[in-house]
Structures are given as C-alpha cells and as structure tokens.
Amino acid sequence: MLLVGLNPFGLTYTVGLQGRGTPRANPDARGLDGFIDIAMEIGAQSIELPNSWLAAMSDAELAALRQRLADLNLKPIIGSGLPHEPHGAAIRSAVALGAETIRLAITRILCGDRAELGDGWPKLVDETREGLRTYAVMARDAGVWLAIENHQDFGSQELLDFCDEVGPNVGICYDTGNSFPIAEAPIPFTRRIAARVRHVHLKDYQVQFTDEGYRLVRCATGDGAVPVAEIASILGEHHELLTASIEIAALEARHVRLLKPDWWKGYPPISGPELAACFAAARHRRLADDAEYRTPWEREEDGQILIDYEMEQVRQSAVNLKALGIMAGDGA
C-alpha cells in the first residue's frame, strides 16, 4: 500500500520555489500554507516538505506545524540534499515534525550527464559516500532514516551499493521517472531496488527522441512512459506500507544525450538487451519528433498561465492514480 501525497517540486512556480527576476520569486506564490491546502485538495495522505521551508522555523512553529499535519492526517517526509545543505541540517526538522524519513538528493548531476565532470566522477562518488556515512550516523542517533534519491545520477546497483556501505538506516527514495536518464528501463530498475525502497516519487515523463538521445518532458503521472501501476505492484510485493509523493518533473525538459559516445564516460558497461529494454520502454506514449516539448516556463510565459499549468498536472495525476487504485479516493 502506498500512502500517496504530494511534494512541491512539480509546483515550484505556484508555491514560490521558482520565479523570474531578482529576487527570483512569484509574487502570487502560495507558500507552505498554500501547498498544504493543495495537498488536502487532492486527497493526500502524506506530504513531503523541503527543509528550506523549515530550517528557519522556531521550535514553537515546528511544534504547531506538527500538530497541524497530525490533525490533517498527513504523514510528513522531509526533503533535503547532500550538496545543498550542511550534513544533518534536516534532522532537527525531522525530529520536530515526527518524520521518520529524510529524502536526500545526493549530487547535482542531471540528465545522467556524468561526462560534464570530466575525470571527476570517481572523486564525486567517493565524496558522496563519505558524506552519506557522516549523515547516516547523525540520522541514526536521532532515530531517523535516510532515503537517497536516484536523482538522474546513479543507477540501481550503485544505489544498492551505497545502502550496503554507509549504514543500516539508509534506504532509497525511488523516483519512478529517473531510470531513463541513466539508461535503465523502469521495470528492471524497480525489481532490483524494490526491497530497499523507503519512499517513492511518483513521477512520469513523455519521451521525445532526438538525434542525440531523447528529451524527457514533464506530464501528469500516469500520462507518460512510466508504468506506474506495475511499479506499484512490484513495490507491494516487498512492503506493506510506503509513503509516496506525486512529483511532476521540472519546468525544464531534460535532454539525455546518450547517443553521443562521450555521454557514457563514467558509466559501467551495459549490455545490448539492457539498453534495448530502456529504449523500448521510453517509446511508450512517446512525443512525436516534431511535437512542441517546451513548457510554458520555457516559452517565457508567466503568472496565472504557469500556475494553471502546474495545478492541472497535479490534479490530473491524482485522478490517474486514484483510477489505477494506487491512491486512496474515488476510483481506488
């Protein structure tokens, strides 16, 4: 069973995490309170809160937020990032809100582009491992789990290796859309990591093939190439209960240039059948080669157009997941 909720990263403009100008903000942003209202509107059972919203809160403010979430029956997960905040920064928020898990992005790599580091990928891996070891001890002492995210950087076996190496309180935050950026098919990826998953990002993409590889274009969860129902079924074979967040992808399309030989720098060898499975999965509901892939943000739209765009995709995701029986509510 998935306790499906929401995180704000598909609503970055609406809630004020992304904007144009200086300061880079949407003057009509709904903020934390508005985000909680959106979660309740779609029938969320859990909620993922970025520590950037929580770090400056007083103990009293965090205690009040904890009570509010409890009254709304929203199970909290804290979102943070190893390269974005000091090690352990989110632990205070997790303990204060009674959150069992911190979702942790562990590098800044996107689109699987390890080659952008030149020869620096092995050094980044070593630094990430050591950072996770430090964070895992701090989290263990506080009674908190870390869920490391496949954030378009690491493959399934690499994530499992981190879990084995850095601490027994370390699991995986499985972003269902992020096997494509590192050239793995969703179902084999899911089967490999399922037992170690601690939290889920229910994200989907429509894929548009290009001369260099493919673009990953945001869409409502359930409208793209990711087989979310089969993924949920596999996870259910290993877990009675998991938290999950609807996460619509970024406002910028991701271009995975895996048809360029240099893109593969830093990757282990991959078999022909494995790569074929990835391409076959990516062709499901694919965008035509000449289709418009740009989001309103990429077309320089602003204001209510962007808000309506983000909100429609979040609402449609909830409708889709309820119809599939993945999310509690009408149709489940």
Q: What is the pLDDT of residue 177?
A: 98
Q: What is the pLDDT of residue 1?
A: 84
Give the three-class secondary structure for 141: helix
In degrees and rounded to multiples of 5, residue 276 shows phi and psi of -60, -40
**Rounded average pLDDT over 221-238:** 98
Give the span between the Cα atoms of 16 and 233, in whole angstroms.
34
Nearest partner of 202 among 162, 174, 166, judged by Cα: 174
For 183-222, the pLDDT digits (tens) are: 999 999 999 999 999 999 999 999 999 999 999 999 999 9
Q: What is the pLDDT of residue 25?
A: 64
Pairing outcome for strands 145-149 and 170-175: parallel
Whether residue 59 contacts residue 96, with contact meaning beta carbons closer than 8 Å, is answered with yes
Q: In the numeric block, which tokens belong to residue 276?
A: 């074929």
Give the span between the Cα atoms of 264 and 257, in whole angstroms.
9
Q: What angle do CA 37, 48, 4 make, to 5 degrees?
A: 80
Strand pairing partners for 256?
Answer: 214
Whether residue 198 contacts residue 223, with contact meaning beta carbons closer than 8 Å, is answered with no
Pairing outcome for strands 254-256 and 214-218: antiparallel
**Rounded average pLDDT over 37-65:** 97
pLDDT above 90: percentage of residues in the chain: 92
For 111-139, the pLDDT digits (tens) are: 999 999 999 999 999 999 999 999 999 99
Q: What is the pLDDT of residue 231?
A: 98
Give the start-to-end residue ranges of the domains of the chain: 2-323
Q: In the numeric block, which tokens belong to residue 266?
A: 């830093």
- pLDDT above 90 for 106: yes
Give the span between the Cα atoms of 106 and 131, in whole angstroms.
9
Nearest partner of 103 among 153, 148, 44, 162, judged by Cα: 148
- pLDDT above 80 for 260: yes
Q: What is the pLDDT of residue 315?
A: 98
Nearest partner of 108 among 124, 119, 123, judged by Cα: 124
For 287-323, the pLDDT digits (tens) are: 999 999 999 999 999 889 999 999 999 999 999 999 9
Q: What is the pLDDT of residue 330?
A: 61
In degrees and rounded to multiples of 5, residue 218 shows phi and psi of -60, 150
pLDDT above 70: percentage of residues in the chain: 98
Amino acid in the structure at residue 3: L
Give the span between the Cα atoms of 171 and 162, in whole angstroms.
9
Q: What is the pLDDT of residue 302?
A: 84
Number of other residues whose CB lies within 10 A of the CB of residue 169: 19
Whether residue 225 contacts residue 285, with contact meaning beta carbons closer than 8 Å, is answered with yes
Number of other residues whose CB lies within 10 A of the CB of residue 64: 12
Mean pLDDT for all residues in the chain: 95
Pairing outcome for strands 214-218 and 242-246: unpaired
Q: What is the pLDDT of residue 24?
A: 58
Q: What is the CA radius of gyration of the chain?
A: 19
Report whether CATH 3.20.20.150 matches the domain 2-323.
yes
- pLDDT above 70 for 332: no
Q: What is the pLDDT of residue 331?
A: 41
Give the span between the Cα atoms of 145 and 76, in whole angstroms.
13
Whether residue 5 contacts residue 48, with contact meaning beta carbons closer than 8 Å, is answered with yes
